[in-house]
Amino acid sequence: MKKDIHPENYRFVVFKDMSNDYSFLSKSTAEAKETVKWEDGNEYPLVKLEISHTSHPFYTGKMKLVDTAGRIDKFKNRYKKFDKKTAPAEEKSEE
Q: How much is the pLDDT for 52?
A: 79
Does this model's pTM top 0.85? My answer is no
pLDDT tens for the 95 residues of the chain, in order? 788 888 888 999 999 988 888 899 999 999 999 999 999 999 999 999 888 778 766 666 676 555 566 677 777 888 888 877 655 555 555 55
How many Å apart are CA 7 and CA 13, to the nearest integer?
15
Q: How much is the pLDDT for 27?
A: 94
Q: How much is the pLDDT for 38?
A: 93
How many Å apart are CA 30 and CA 51, to the nearest integer?
16
